[in-house]
Amino acid sequence: MSQFDESVEQQLSSLREGLKLPPEQVEIAKLFPLFAPSSFFQSGNWPGPYMRLRASRISLTWSIHLPDQTMRYVDRDTARYWDKKGIDWKQLALRNLAEHTDKNPATHEFRRTDGKLYGIAMMHPDGIGPSRLLLQDRISAIFPEGYRIALPEMSCAFGFSSEVNDLELDQIQKLIDDCFNKGTRALAQGIYTPADLHPE
């Protein structure tokens, strides 16, 4: 068996074990919010809680990170267990995200020739880069003049100044299009405002 095959087998094993965990054994410190295409929820058979957002193509759900870069979605039984325990798990997921994220949520920066920052990308190794868009206070600190966002792929998001010029916007738009068209898990086309990620 090759090293790649061993890695895949280890991930599958971790995922299988993680899916077997009863609610009381789920590690809530590994709970995070996660954006997903609204199409995931249209059939009505989604196994857990989710929230529709003002950006109709995007919804919010929650996931538990497991070993070996695997994850499981929060199911209804687990959510009910936390509710009965009086745990504000949605707020806890956001706090986990904040603690899991550097003060600057960017993994890549786009700067003008004078060094001024006009855009950031969030493509974190944990696969939930777009979730950092929920840390709006941190992104507002980067772009006090206001900003817009894009979530083209489930592991990639962009934030950029409301004051970008046409050339800068064109460059960012090309990156957004590439992520949406060439990524492995397309999320949503288009450019949005931070308020579009609020509940509908």
Average pLDDT over residues 170-188: 96
Q: Average pLDDT for residues 145-157, to the nearest whole number? A: 97
Residues 64 and 92 sit within 8 Å (Cβ to Cβ): no
Domain ranges (residues) in the chain: 3-99, 108-197
| Token output for 135 | 């840390």
Residues 100-106: contacts with CB within 8 Å, 24+ apart? 100/32, 100/126, 101/132, 101/135, 101/138, 103/138, 104/138, 104/142, 105/132, 105/135, 105/138, 105/139, 106/142, 106/159
Which pTM does this prediction carry? 0.88
Place of tokens 């609020």: 198
Q: Using 50, 70 and 90 to split pLDDT, how confident is the model at 21? A: confident
